[in-house]
Chains A and B, each alone.
Chain A
């Protein structure tokens, strides 16, 4: 998927415009159908919902043309489409349970998208973030510790993940996943050479040196601390998974993954044996349909099984908007919104949604491959992997592929902090993708005119040339590594004999 065909330089902005119209239409039409089904006419909030979705499309498109003309053209439409579908479902569930989560989610959507646009304005170059590597670490730690402060922190369903300020509760961990990705990217790009050094070899596996294992140990301890003190398996998993994935990208050392998985397994083993609620999760996962597990309160499989029932009753084509009973599942508009969507939109709709995420994630990796600086590569892949990991944990949990853990589905689930965080992620990805696809300035260190011409005929980007190098690495083993032109950046490829 990383091959680059020689082509005319196209920004894709017009394709994006078309896709944005489609994306806004999906959300508005979904909500309209909810109204038709549940009250026989247009739903009451059709105008504000339409205004926000169309507004994001319009403003987003104009700002991208202006501030990031080379940004990836499918990222914003996909995010907007998912957000619209999520909004329609949240409004739909409001009908059933008499809440008003929809209007709140609409405000958060506008705020989140607004923040993404602000990022495109303020952050002219993603490499600026590298200056804040250690600031990000401090911010992350503070964010993670906030819920532990008595009076400020709030415990919901046994997990201590929220803070409450005024009338708003907020989940700082959602923001922390971004600041941590920034920190990991900055830290790893500076230290990857050391982490790549070979240590002892065990069972044919080249392990890193023991003295270099400090950072992974620290990350592991931190995620275990999240698990122990905030009692949230999902967030803990996300942080550790993010670190291991980024560590692997930075070092290309498979041993880090083995090491990470090993530590992860150890952590799970300890958690299962130490914490009743983790053991209960496994029991629920393995024996969900057993009557005694189903009926157990609390910690039974009732929610999971009701979600499965919902998915099953949706079948291939779904019941249609407003025609199912998604509200029978607790948290049907947040943790279990996937089951709600699967019920009403069917397997067809759910697969479409999963494909949308897959494309977002693959576009993030594509950006990561295309961008020239190591920091950008790590940040884009980290953010993309974070989205993928959340999808995997949530959908895997709801469909009983893996034990259920509490994470939110990006852009879909009701919840303000997640909405803000995911739009920030999208803003960053757009910014990095703009850098990745932007043709290189002519007046920099590339001095050979012929090279420039060749590359220009290609994709106009030295990055594309580099990809071709690494893609054809087997054919030209001694190829000199291409150094980026980004001033203070580290080399993006390390020469290995």
Chain B
């Protein structure tokens, strides 16, 4: 019986080696991914009592840890609370969001870049402190956006078109992250449950996530870019502008805003079509160019791409497998086209930056506990959705929109602004979403902005992109240019 016994003991040895292998896989190989899983509250628990580093905006700490007399020792304080809530996120006993989560390894001091600092802390016996994260946000622009949106639901994103740095990111309604950072689980539960139950979804960062919005006429910038890029059209090309455009295989017709004709003529220039935001020319041309050409242009602007800024951005979508009628609707930003305000700002920013699309980013620098810079974000090109010459033409057409067209409310005295309005049906009987996207100064752009006011905000049914959203955009751009 000894031979089978020996064999069996080898089998048992193999069984144990398999166990050791799988334990190593879980505790070492997979450990990083498992620890980063948002359902793993241990990471929060473990980091919770840590002296985390601050989140800094323009030299001011907007989130920092302060010593308190509870078992966790350190509590997070958000100096401006709701103003930066969707960027900083919150750091509660149960979870963390926003930059608190995306940069948690730096803030808690566990990042690989802080290894030496950790070793030093180990040797000297001092407590490891977290590093700091400096955001790209401009406090004046952020405040302007926050104030201008007021109590209306919606979002504002402002970018530096030359680098992709995010200068303002506001989502309304907001919330106070301080209420979620307290060291009482019952209070946190109560606050959190109330926020989740709130039908206005204050926890959702509408600028980059949530269920996104139909873009309406701001999508015509994508149409126009496609037309100019084709080489067959320039700003002065005559395009058909019927009063009604019958959609094939349906009994729907597309009309222009207000239901009337664009002009008394049957055709208009492309510049004029954008100026007054005629629907029929863009829909007709989109059917002619087809779904794929339009989708290609949209994807060049970033539609459908994953983005981490490092907050996760919900990709904007341009639908596929459409019939002609659906293509025509998509061309005017209806049907199933869905965008984030950040995506719309990226379209404007690319046009402003001579056709080059820069990757948006929210973290400027990361520093160790000794304030030494450990990481500095370098601007990164995402692509070139349109040529410099097309960009220059489109820029001129957008300047015309603000000077003579639907976007006059976006004017800033002494500065030439390029913009485009949008008024998007939200698919329900509720009032339409008001959009405005713009950049300024047109000749040397410093800021590109996108504004959406959900369901027209305070103006309700009376709202249009030009009337409701454009003044907000103007205020934000003004704030950036004033600094």
Contacts and interface: CB of A to CB of B under 8 A. Distances in A.
Contact of B8 (A248, A347, A466): A248
Contact of B5 (A312, A315, A325, A369): A369
A492 B1 contact: yes
Interface stretch (A11-19, A61-69, A207-215, A355-363): A355-363
Nearest to B36: A312
B12 A354 contact: no
Given A310-B42, A313-B35, A400-B26, A357 B8 contact: no
B1 A250 contact: yes
Nearest to A473: B3
A388 B19 CA distance: 11
B19 A354 contact: yes
Nearest to B34: A312
Nearest to A401: B22
B6 interface: yes
A324 interface: yes
B211 interface: no
Nearest to A326: B42
B225 to A, nearest CB: 38
A146 interface: no
A60 interface: no
B20 interface: yes
Interface in B173-191: none
B27 A311 contact: yes
B1 A354 contact: no
B41 interface: yes
Interface in B1-32: 1-6, 8-9, 12-13, 15-16, 18-20, 22-28, 30-32
Interface stretch (A148-156, A230-238, A373-381, A424-432): A373-381
A362 B18 contact: no
Contacts of B18: 392, 396, 401
A351 B20 contact: yes
Given A347-B28, A354-B20, A395-B23, A369 B8 contact: no
Nearest to A192: B1
B46 interface: yes
Nearest to A359: B16
A401 B5 contact: no
B2 A399 contact: no
A361 B17 CA distance: 13
A115 interface: no
A310 B24 CA distance: 13
A318 to B, nearest CB: 9
B40 interface: yes
Contact of A381 (B8, B22, B23, B46): B8
B80 to A, nearest CB: 32
Contacts of B16: 354, 357-358, 361, 388, 391-392
B23 A378 contact: no
A95 to B, nearest CB: 13
A453 B153 CA distance: 98
Nearest to A394: B19
A489 interface: no
A350 interface: yes
A448 to B, nearest CB: 22
A249 B1 contact: yes
A358 B19 CA distance: 11
B66 to A, nearest CB: 23
B37 interface: yes
Nearest to A362: B9
Contacts of A492: 1-2
Interface of B is mostly: helix
Contacts of A319: 46
B6 A2 contact: yes
A319 B27 CA distance: 12
Contact of B27 (A346, A392, A401, A466): A346
A138 to B, nearest CB: 26
Nearest to A377: B1
B218 to A, nearest CB: 34
A400 B45 CA distance: 24
A51 B15 CA distance: 36
Interface residues of A, number: 58
Contacts of B30: 308, 312
B3 to A, nearest CB: 6
A365 B8 contact: yes
Residue from B3, B23, B46 having most chain A Cβ neighbours under 10 A: B23
A190 to B, nearest CB: 14
A350 B27 contact: yes
Given A252-B3, A308-B26, A467-B2, A313 B42 contact: yes
A311 B2 contact: no
Contacts of B24: 347, 351
Contact of A245 (B8, B26, B35): B8
B120 interface: no
Interface string B28-58: 1011101101011111011000000000000
B1 A313 contact: no
A75 interface: no
A422 interface: no
A325 B25 CA distance: 20
A472 to B, nearest CB: 12
Interface in A427-443: none
Interface string B338-360: 00000000000000000000000
Contacts of A399: 19, 22-23, 25-26
B1 to A, nearest CB: 5
A334 interface: no
A365 B12 contact: yes
Interface in B157-204: none
A316 B26 CA distance: 10
B173 to A, nearest CB: 27
B27 A325 contact: no
Residue from B12, B24, B31 having most chain A Cβ neighbours under 10 A: B12
Given A315-B27, A365-B12, A378-B1, A391 B19 contact: yes
Interface string A459-481: 00000001100110100000000
A38 B4 CA distance: 49
Given A311-B27, A315-B31, A368 B39 contact: no
Nearest to B32: A312
Given A305-B39, A392-B15, A347 B1 contact: no
A155 B26 CA distance: 33
User: What 3 A-B pairs come out closest when comparing CB atoms?
Assistant: A312-B34, A401-B22, A347-B27
24 contacts: A1-B9, A2-B5, A248-B4, A252-B3, A308-B26, A309-B39, A309-B42, A311-B23, A311-B26, A311-B27, A313-B35, A316-B27, A325-B45, A342-B26, A361-B9, A374-B1, A388-B12, A391-B15, A399-B22, A399-B26, A400-B22, A401-B18, A471-B2, A492-B2
Given A311-B34, A388-B16, 7 more contacts: A1-B9, A325-B45, A362-B12, A377-B5, A396-B19, A401-B19, A473-B3
Interface of A: 1-2, 245, 248-252, 289, 294, 305, 308-316, 319, 324-325, 328, 342, 346-347, 350-351, 354, 357-358, 361-362, 365, 368-369, 374, 377-378, 381, 384-385, 388, 391-392, 395-396, 399-401, 466-467, 470-471, 473, 492-493
Interface of B: 1-6, 8-9, 12-13, 15-16, 18-20, 22-28, 30-32, 34-35, 37, 39-43, 45-46
